[in-house]
Each structure stands twice: as C-alpha cells, then as structure tokens.
Structure 1
Amino acid sequence: MATIQLLFADEGNRAAMESIVEQRHTLVTDDQLRAADLYIVDEAIFPEYREGLETHKQAVEPIFCPVVLVRREQTAVSVDLQDMTDRDRPLLVDDVVRAPVRERALFRTLENLLARREQTERLIADLRERTAQLEAEHQKYQTLVEQSDNGIAVVQAGELVFVNERLTEILDRGAETLRNSPLERVLSEADSSLLERCREHRPESGESPTQHELTVRTPSGERKHIDLRSSRIEYEGEPASLLSFQDVTERKQRERELRQFKNAVEQAGHAIIVTDERGVIEYVNPAFEEITGYSAEEAVGLTPRILKSGEHGEELYSRLWETILDGRVWNTEIVNERKSGERFVALQTIAPIRDSDGDIDGFVGIQDEITDRRLREQQLEVFHRVLRHNLRNKGTVIMGNASMLAAELEDETARAQAETIQEHVQSLMDLSEKARHVRQVVTEAAEPQTDCDLGSFLKQTAGQFRSSYPDATLDLDIAPQADLTVDGRVRPALEELIENAVEHSDGPESRVVISLTTDQQKGIVTISDNGPGIPEQERRALEQGAERPLQHGSGLGLWLAYWLVHYVGGGIDIRVDGQGTSVSVELPLQ
C-alpha cells in the first residue's frame, strides 16, 4: 500500500477520486504539498503546484517519484505537454488520465508507476549498500597500506605515483620527493633488467608477483637490504606496477651474526650442547663428538644423561636442575663418561636460553675437558708435599748435625765448612718455604679480589719497609693524579719487587726510589735501586716467559711478580745500567 496525495481544486472531483483510490492506498488530502509515493494532480490546479512538484522530485532523485495528471475537457487551464516531453529538463508529469476516470484503467496506471518507484528504491538501496561496502573495503585497504610494515609504491610510466609513509621511512625521503620520481632514482643500485621487470605492463592471467633482493642507498649514505616484490595491477584505470619494499637489513645482520656464531661454535674447542626445556639434546658441536665419542646423530634426541659416570649422587643433579630452572647459571667440575666407557673430568657451565617473552625455552651447556690438567695438578701437589716434607725433615737433621759438628771442631777451616753447610741447608729450607708461599699466593690470585688504590698502597708499603730496613733510603715520587685503581691481586707482586730492590741495594748508601705515573689507561709503577742489578740469566728467563735447563732464575720472587702482574693483564720491563736496576710495572686501571 502506497501513500498518494490528491491535489484538486474542486471538492466534488476530489471526493470522487478519493472514493476510488482509498480502496487500495493511503491518501493525503492536504492542500499543502506533502511527502508521498505518488501525486495525482488535477489539470486545473497543476500550475499552482508545478514548481513545488519539480523541487520535490529533484530532492528525492534518483528515486522515481511519479506524478499523474487528470485532464478534463473544456477545463479553464490547459497543461502544456512539454512537461511530459521536454528532455532538457527532468520529466515532471509521468502519465495522464482523462476524466471521467475509469477505475480499472486508473489502478493499472497507478500500479505500473508505483512498481517503477519500488524498483528504483530497491536499486538505490542496493547501490547504497554496495557503495558502503566499497567504501569500507577502500578504507580497509587504505589502512592496510598505510599501516603496513612494508613500503608500498605504485609505478606508472616509470615514475612513482603513490608511496605510503613506511616507504618514506625506509628510503629516508619525504613523500613529496618520492612522488613522480623516476624509478631509476629510487633503485639506483639495481641493474637494468630488474628495473625493466619492475615497470608496468598489462596484467596477464595467472601471473604471480616477482621477488628480488637488492640494496638501496639513503641520502645519508646508509645502505639498506631490501626484499622487493613486484606485481602488475591497474591503478586508476591504467596499467601499473605495485612494488612492496621490505627492509631486511636487521635480518641480514642477524643472519650474518648467526653464521659467525655458528662458525665459532663449530670451531670451538669446548663441547657445546643445546637442549630444549626438558633437557632433550637438539644440537652438539664437533668438539662434543670428539670429546665424548658420541656423534651428533647419536646424541640428538637423547639427554646429557648419556654422559653420566655414576661418580655423583642424585643430589648434585637435583641442585643443577633447581638452579637452571630458576634462571641462574650452573658451574661445576664434573666427572663424565665417554661412549667408550672412559671417564674424563670437565668444567661444566649450563645457562638457560630465554625466548622473546623472557620464558625459559631451553638450555646451553659448555664442557671444557680438564682431565690432563687435573692429573698434572694432582702430581704437582704430591711432588710439592713430598719434597717440602723431606726438605724440612732432612734439613732439620742436617742443620742439627752440622751445628754439633761445628761446635766440636777446633780447626777454623773445618768449622767454616760446617757453617757453610748450615747456610746452604737453611737456604734450601727458606726456598721450600718461599715455594709454599708462592703457591699459596698464585692460587689465591686465581680468585677475584678487591680493588687497590695504587697511591695509598705504595705509601703504606714504603712506610713498612722503612721500618724493616732503617738503614735504607726509600723515596716516593707519586704524581698527584686522582684515583688510580688497579686489580688488588697485584699487591704481593709490588711488595716482592720493592723488597728485592731494598735487599739488593748494596752501594755505600742503599737507596730505592718508587714512582707512580699514568697514561690515562694504565698506571705505571717504577722501582729503581742502586744495587748490582738483576742477573742476566734471570732477566732473560723472565723476558722469554720460560726457563730452560741452561737458562733459569735462581729464585722465585721475580717469577711470583711476573705471574701476578700478567694475571691482571699488565707487563714488566727490567732495565739495568751502571747506576742500578729499574723495574717498570704497567697495570691496567679499573
């Protein structure tokens, strides 16, 4: 049922039309023009409503709004049929019925016109829905393009006609600079064949995008690695190329670092194991294969329990898992077993591997085989204990007998010889005690210690030696630098060198000068004395860092200093001239 407005001047004619139309439709009988689906206008009153009807029809376009004219014979007003036939302006009257109106013919006319109106309404509704969908699709794709992690460009006639913001970031150029730029300027390092493939041509059925790897250079000179994809499209009705720029510079850098890391792992002399979070082996390096006897194919998929020797209780492994599952690093010395059943000693470090969210994703283990080193340490320990025990016990016996012999001898020469025996035996016993002290200091030096303020330490040490050697002159020449801090493990080395200088300053007046300077990266301690100098064979042994059967030092003090200074990354330089000895110690500042 439609809404129809009747516009009649004569009330009798209006009433007659109302009686017919109201059978099927809703009527509007107001004299003022109202919104309706169709208008029935009496020819006599048409000129009065012409302008209003024309305005209304234009307002509702493109929806069809029909107007039916009722024509009468001998009417005082006649409507020009130009309102129906003029194509230069919108059609105003859509159909004409003649009075007296025949009911069946009228309804047929009305139904045809209303059907046309309904059809236009459906078409317009469909069109609006489709337009809204297209606008939504357009907005979606525009958002995708603008928010894309890739740079997007459209190329037509060899020039960039569209670029998104991401491309301006990748190429470090503004959008206005890039638009209408020749493709050759953007891809200046690409070869001609690639440029040709990136130019537009009409899309072909089934054609897939092409992919290229190339580098581009930004205005600042930075080179970036680009993964470029090119596909053929139509842009604003014309053939074009759609280019997608993916900046893979960081990925290339990571790949290079991973290759370097893999090469380092493959060439490492330590056994390296990577497991998942359950401890199942995922990777072993060649050193693991060599040390354990298990090939990678045999080890992957198993757990490190294949190396379990039985030397350690379950408590150790429980503490291991508790430590690494807590995200901490596990370090220990462990006895493992090779595939052959042979046991070996290893320093083992296990650390968690975390994913991007910080969760433990697996573990990496490093094993450094120290079997030979442990055996040597055990052998040296036994030799040291046996030799020191025998030297102390036998030396005490020899000293006692030599002392008794010297007391009973009357001959001066024989007594002097007995005293010489005592002196040399005492020297041997002192050397044994010195060796014990050196071993203790070197062992402690392997552990981190507190830092040492060089200036304060040298002043304190000089004061102690002045008290112990009142006849010697100790001068300090310390530059007024600020904080000169070094590794505290070097203290015994400096004490040994100062003591050596004081004891061997045998001129008419024993004099030692201790100076401290710096070159910003190192602290330099120089100890000068006026003694006879360090023997040449000892200097040569220290300079070469090793002793030979025919070239060795006579004492352990200088070796102690040499070892400790090198422990902390420093160096020693010894110079001897006619005025004495000068020892310079360079120490890295903390």
Structure 2
Amino acid sequence: MSNPRPIDEPSGAAEQAALFPLLSEKGNRRLIVEWIETHDDYTLVDPDQSVATATFDCCILDGEMLQTHAETLRARKREAEPALLPCLLLIPEADLSLIETDRGEIADSVVFETADEVVSMPIKKAELEWRTKALTRLRTQSLRLKERTDTLELFKKAVESSGHVIWMSDTDGTINYVNSAFESVTGYTKAEAIGKSPELLSSGQMSDDYYTDLWETITAGDRWREDITNERRDGSQYVADQTIAPVIEDGEPKAFIAVQTDITDRKDLEHRLSRYRDVVERLDDPIMLQTREGAFRLVNDALCSFAGLSRDELLGSGEFKFMDDATARKIARQKQHVIETERPIEYTVEPTFTYTNKEPVFYTSRYPHYEDGELAGTLAICRDVTDLENRTRQLRVFDNILRHNIRNDVNVVRGRAKQLQEELDGEHKATADVIVSRANALLTTSKKSRAITDSLSGSHELESVDIAQLVRKLTQEIAADWPEVTVDISGPDQLIVSVPDSIDATIEELLMNAVVHNDSDTPEVSVNLATDESWGVLRIRDNGPGIPEFDKDVLESGKAIETLSHGSGLGLWLVYWTVTHSGGHVYVDECEPTGTEITIYLPLVSTN
C-alpha cells in the first residue's frame, strides 16, 4: 500500500498519517506492518518502495536500515524543511551502547542527524502508540506552520509586486511598512518613509475635516475610502483612490493598512470629458455616437429635442425609432459606408421626425470612431441648415431672373455676331468669330450654372435610375462624336441607383472631360460598372494628362471654389453636388503612367 499525498502536504485531522516501516528484521517488520494495518489512525506505505520516492509522514526503521539509508533520509528531511519529516529508530536494548560510545560516530554522524526518536526493543504497543502520535503530531504542526509561512511569503511577494501604493502604520499613525510601488509613485524611499507619519504626503489640498473624518472612521474599526490628492517628494501632486482599513484583534484596531491607486490620468481624462460634454450639450446641432450596428451610445440634448424622445429612450435604439423610413435607410447606408471604408463622409438629409413633425435639413459629417485601436462605430455631427436652405431657395429665384436676362442678352449678342460673320470678312470677320465663340461659352456656363443651382436648391428628391443603360447611351453618343477616341465599357447590364435627376448631366460631364482633355496620341476611356455591398460603383478611367489638384479638390470635397473660373470647373461642381445629394461619394486617383480614374459610389436600389 502507498499514499500518493505529496510529502509536504499536511494530513489534516480527518486524514490518516502514512507510516513507512523500514525494518531489516522480518519478524519486527511483520509485527509493525500488522499493527499499522489494524490501526484506524494510520495507513501503511509499502515497505518495498524506494526510500528516495516513498510518500510518508513518519518512517519507522531499525539500526541496519538507518545506516543503509541514512544519506537518503537526511536528504529527504532537508527537502521537507521547514516541515518536519520524522524518523522513529528502533534499537534492541542490548545495542543501546552503540549510541553512547566514546567516539560517538554512530550518534554524531547518523542517529541524531536522521532519527528524531530512539526507542529500545522490544517495545510495548502503548509506547509505540504515543511515540508515533507525538511524531506525526509534530509533523502536522510543522506542515501547518510551513503553510502559513508560505502564505505570508506569497502575500509579501504579491504586495511588493503590486502596482498599487501600499503602506502600513501602527495605531498612532507611524508608518512601519511601505511597498515598492510606494517608492516609485511617491519618490520616497522606504528608509525615508518608515517611522514617519502619512502627513509626509500631505499636499495641502485636503481639508482638516477630511482628515478628521478619516481618523474617526478607521479608529472606530471601519473602512475608509475616498479620493485624495497627495504630494510626491519632488513637489508634484497625484490623485489617488485611497482605501484605509484597520487590522482588528480582540475587537480593537492593532494597525492600519492603506492601499492607493494612482488615478491622476483618469481624473484628468474625466475633467476633459466633462468639458467636452458641456460643449456638446450646449450645441444646438445634434451629435451622436453609434455602435457598428447603429445603436446610439451617446446623444446630446439637441437630438433629443428634434426627436421628441428622452435620452433613455434613444440610447440603444437607432434612427428608425423616430425618423421616416426612407431617411433612416439613407443614413444606414452612410454609416455602413464609413464602417466599410473607415473614411469620413458628408451628406445632406431632410428627415421627418415622427414625434415632433419637424422637417429640418441637416448637413451631416460622419466619422469612424475607434476604441483601443479597434473600429467601434461612427460619430456624427449634424448641422441644421434649414434656414440656409430657405435662403438658397430665395437666391434661386433671383438667380433664375438674373440668368434669364443674361441669357437673353447673350443670345441677342450671338445673333448679331452671326450676322456680322456672314456680312464681314478679313479682320472684322475674325472679331465676329471670337464674339460668337465667347457667347457660346457663356451659354454653356449658364447651362451648367443652372444645373448646379437646381442641385443645390432643389427638393433633393431622389429617383431610381438605371445608370448602366444611361452610361451605355452616353458612351455611344460620345463614340459617334469622337471617333478617334477608344471607349470601352464593362459591367452588368442593369445597375439601379438612387440619385437626383441631374445624374444625366453629371455622368456626361465626367465622360466629356475624359475625352475632351485627353491629349494622348491614342486616347482611351474605359468605363466600369460594379456593385460593392450596398453601393453601385461607376469608374471612369482615361489615359490623358491627369487632373489638376484643384479639380480633384472640387470633386472629392467641394473645395477650391476660388479657382473655378471656367465652364469645366462648374461642371465638376455639378458632379460633386449631384453625388453628395444622393448620399454617395467621389474618389479621384492618378493612373500610371498617365491618366485619371474617378470612382463614384451611389446608393444601390434593391431589385428584390
């Protein structure tokens, strides 16, 4: 029989002590084995096991086995320290003189280094009983002491390696222990802190009432937890979440232990967030933070006011809770685009709010939002441009009247110039040609200006358009007018998107720019149609000289207005506003070795 319990594991009150009979004389070994097997308090360790690996609480051995295994047993006892691994030595009474020799070789080198008790044979069962119990009791006590010592050592290591500031004091407040984090955070060494009062860290920021309440709480045996502003050795300050607890013995505090967590950075962040929150709440424009799935995580009062719902009602929901379905779907597509591309976008919506019956116009900027380096959702800032839209409509009336009068006057000038072309010759005819050319350019610019005005100040109504058919129609017309240009088109036969009615002029403008400004010896234009998630994609690529930077700015962001002094520039503005009002996006890339690729994303209309 054997006991698999580790050598340093205490038996416990409910467990049997494991006895290892290591006896050379067969008769004695049989008697001891029988005694162990019939005893309720003990379990037998197989006497044939190796002394080096057997698991036992007490070894019972005789002189011959002592001398044979003395070195191994001493090694086992050293391994078990500080726990006791007792050995009970049984020696015939006639041989007791061996341990009392003048030379003392056996006693010095073997017996008293290995055996913990020496008993003469024959031994009575009662004596064997109490001697064995005494040794196993000492074994159990030593194991329990070792366990407590190990626990205390582990606790000390944990406290020393903790990132929290920990210090202990006696009941009069004198510090008697600090850990390594105390030194690194406060700048005071252990030698400088031990024997001092916690006033060593006083910053002067805490009131006398704070310290009075603290002291009254912990001396009454209760735990104290509050934030505190302390001062480091170098004079700088830090904010800590501090807990001080009394160590109670016999119902009275015997010591105090304090644990501090440096929360200076967190407090600074909370202060900044509080300022930001105040700013956000003061804005009249709705601001919202949403998850990747579109659920509101943060909303300001402006959005609550427009929606007619409380903050609690909005958090966890989305636009479908308080907007008309068409607008909510459009916004959902914009959010999805930001999630897919991780790029900010801008778009305009005119929602109808269900609970307030408001119909404002919002110009929205939506950005990707990250947490811990991972894309967590989107942040949207909605600018209420309702009044601006009303002014735009008023300007449109003025623009219509003004442009009507100018167009009429230009038509008159062009008509008279054409008459002069027919009647004059030489230098005068060349002058008339210039007048006709400029008049035609003014009429073209007027046409594009009208399209832009319609795009900016129209109702923004969207309609379903098959741009695949539209693109094929326009490319056929261009191929007929410009036979020297190779025009290639690829993609599906049908691609239905949601766009304003100015989409025809928009695509025509892009195709014409790719053809007219192409100075290549073999001009080529390729048009590709595709789908990407919830978007219809149109790519127009040419091998021309490339697009100027200000034209790129116009297409992608509506900037560089000061550079727009020609008709083609106005056409690019038409592209920008048409795509923007559809909720789409324009991207411009340079091609190698020459040329430009313009990619337009337009909201896809499901055909299911």
What residue number does 1:178 align with?
193
Deviation of the 1:167 alpha carbon: 1.2
Residues 305-333 of structure 1: per-residue CA shift (max 9 Å, x gap): 24544666957743542433553333211
Following the alignment from structure 1 to structure 2, what is the Cα–Cα distance between the partners of residues 294 and 44? 99
Is this contact kept in 2: 1:154–1:243, CA < 8 A?
Answer: yes
Letter in 2 for 1:304: E
Following the alignment from structure 1 to structure 2, what is the Cα–Cα distance between the partners of residues 138 and 262? 47
Answering whether residue 63 of structure 2 is matched by residue 48 of structure 1, we say: no
Deviation of the 1:380 alpha carbon: 1.8
Letter in 1 for 2:31: R
Answering whether residue 156 of structure 2 is matched by residue 142 of structure 1, we say: yes
What residue number does 2:496 align with?
none
Following the alignment from structure 2 to structure 1, what is the Cα–Cα distance between the partners of residues 317 and 65? 97
Following the alignment from structure 2 to structure 1, what is the Cα–Cα distance between the partners of residues 300 and 65? 99
Following the alignment from structure 2 to structure 1, what is the Cα–Cα distance between the partners of residues 177 and 200? 15
Following the alignment from structure 2 to structure 1, what is the Cα–Cα distance between the partners of residues 245 and 187? 24
Structure 1 residues 31 and 260: CA distance shift in structure 2, 3 A = closer
Structure 1 residues 323 and 388: CA distance shift in structure 2, 3 A = same
Structure 1 residues 154 and 347: CA distance shift in structure 2, 3 A = same
Matches within 5 A, 1:27-426: 37-42=89-94, 45=97, 47-48=100-101, 51-52=104-105, 54-55=107-108, 56-60=110-114, 63-67=116-120, 106-108=122-124, 111-156=125-170, 157-187=172-202, 189=204, 190=206, 207-233=221-247, 239-296=254-311, 298-306=313-321, 308-309=323-324, 317-318=332-333, 320-339=335-354, 340-356=356-372, 358-360=374-376, 362-391=377-406, 393-394=408-409
Secondary structure at 1:42 match in 2: helix
Residues 11-66 of structure 1: per-residue CA shift (max 9 Å, x gap): xxxxxxx89968736996869966672122438955537834643553246x3222
Q: Which runs of 5+ in 1 are unaligned?
A: 6-17, 69-105, 402-428, 444-486, 496-590
Residues 368-389 of structure 1: per-residue CA shift (max 9 Å, x gap): 1212212322332341342143
Is this contact kept in 1: 2:295–2:318, CA < 8 A?
Answer: yes
Q: Which runs of 5+ in 2 are unaligned?
A: 1-19, 34-60, 71-87, 417-438, 454-552, 554-558, 566-608
Residues 246-299 of structure 1: per-residue CA shift (max 9 Å, x gap): 212112112212211211111012112233443233443221233444444554
Matches within 5 A, 1:510-521: none
Following the alignment from structure 2 to structure 1, what is the Cα–Cα distance between the partners of residues 247 and 280? 48
Following the alignment from structure 2 to structure 1, what is the Cα–Cα distance between the partners of residues 112 and 219? 42
Residues 518-575 of structure 1: per-residue CA shift (max 9 Å, x gap): xxxxxxxxxxxxxxxxxxxxxxxxxxxxxxxxxxxxxxxxxxxxxxxxxxxxxxxxxx
Structure 1 residues 183 and 33: CA distance shift in structure 2, 3 A = same
Following the alignment from structure 1 to structure 2, what is the Cα–Cα distance between the partners of residues 307 and 319? 18
Following the alignment from structure 1 to structure 2, what is the Cα–Cα distance between the partners of residues 195 and 185? 14
Letter in 2 for 1:42: A
Q: What is the percent sequence identity of the aligned residues?
A: 17
Answering whether residue 78 of structure 2 is matched by residue 24 of structure 1, we say: no
Structure 1 residues 302 and 227: CA distance shift in structure 2, 3 A = closer
Letter in 1 for 2:232: T
Structure 1 residues 30 and 216: CA distance shift in structure 2, 3 A = closer
Secondary structure at 1:181 match in 2: coil
Deviation of the 1:202 alpha carbon: 10
Letter in 2 for 1:65: V
Q: TM-score, normalised by structure 2?
A: 0.50
Structure 1 residues 28 and 149: CA distance shift in structure 2, 3 A = closer
Structure 1 residues 325 and 392: CA distance shift in structure 2, 3 A = closer
Letter in 2 for 1:51: G
Residues 438-483 of structure 1: per-residue CA shift (max 9 Å, x gap): x99xx9xxxxxxxxxxxxxxxxxxxxxxxxxxxxxxxxxxxxxxxx
Structure 1 residues 400 and 155: CA distance shift in structure 2, 3 A = same
Deviation of the 1:148 alpha carbon: 1.9
Is this contact kept in 2: 1:320–1:330, CA < 8 A?
Answer: no
Is this contact kept in 1: 2:292–2:339, CA < 8 A?
Answer: no
Secondary structure at 1:129 match in 2: helix
Letter in 1 for 2:360: F
Residues 388-422 of structure 1: per-residue CA shift (max 9 Å, x gap): 43145358869999xxxxxxxxxxxxxxxxxxxxx
Q: TM-score, normalised by structure 1?
A: 0.51
Following the alignment from structure 1 to structure 2, what is the Cα–Cα distance between the partners of residues 201 and 294? 45
Following the alignment from structure 1 to structure 2, what is the Cα–Cα distance between the partners of residues 491 and 301? 44
Is this contact kept in 2: 1:3–1:37, CA < 8 A?
Answer: no
Deviation of the 1:228 alpha carbon: 1.7
Following the alignment from structure 1 to structure 2, what is the Cα–Cα distance between the partners of residues 390 and 57? 127
Following the alignment from structure 1 to structure 2, what is the Cα–Cα distance between the partners of residues 58 and 201? 56
Secondary structure at 2:104 match in 1: helix
Deviation of the 1:365 alpha carbon: 2.4
Matches within 5 A, 1:522-533: none
Letter in 2 for 1:59: E
What residue number does 1:555 align with?
none
Structure 1 residues 380 and 22: CA distance shift in structure 2, 3 A = closer
Following the alignment from structure 1 to structure 2, what is the Cα–Cα distance between the partners of residues 316 and 283? 17
Q: CA RMSD in A?
A: 4.7
Letter in 2 for 1:379: Q
Secondary structure at 2:156 match in 1: helix
Deviates more, 1:312-321 or 1:214-223: 312-321
Deviation of the 1:334 alpha carbon: 1.4
Following the alignment from structure 2 to structure 1, what is the Cα–Cα distance between the partners of residues 407 and 256? 93
Following the alignment from structure 1 to structure 2, what is the Cα–Cα distance between the partners of residues 399 and 21? 137
Letter in 2 for 1:289: C
Deviates more, 1:173-182 or 1:304-313: 304-313
Matches within 5 A, 1:483-498: none
Deviation of the 1:233 alpha carbon: 2.0
Letter in 2 for 1:38: L
Residues 90-113 of structure 1: per-residue CA shift (max 9 Å, x gap): xxxxxxxxxxxxxxxx442xx344
Letter in 2 for 1:260: R
Secondary structure at 1:153 match in 2: strand
What residue number does 2:541 align with?
none
Secondary structure at 1:37 match in 2: strand
Secondary structure at 1:66 match in 2: strand
Secondary structure at 1:224 match in 2: strand
Following the alignment from structure 2 to structure 1, what is the Cα–Cα distance between the partners of residues 400 and 184? 72
Following the alignment from structure 1 to structure 2, what is the Cα–Cα distance between the partners of residues 43 and 50? 15
Following the alignment from structure 1 to structure 2, what is the Cα–Cα distance between the partners of residues 249 and 29? 70
Secondary structure at 2:117 match in 1: coil
Equivalenced residues, count: 364
Following the alignment from structure 1 to structure 2, what is the Cα–Cα distance between the partners of residues 314 and 32? 90
Secondary structure at 2:101 match in 1: helix
Secondary structure at 1:232 match in 2: strand
Deviation of the 1:163 alpha carbon: 0.7
Following the alignment from structure 1 to structure 2, what is the Cα–Cα distance between the partners of residues 398 and 23? 136
Higher Rg: 1
Following the alignment from structure 1 to structure 2, what is the Cα–Cα distance between the partners of residues 201 and 381? 74
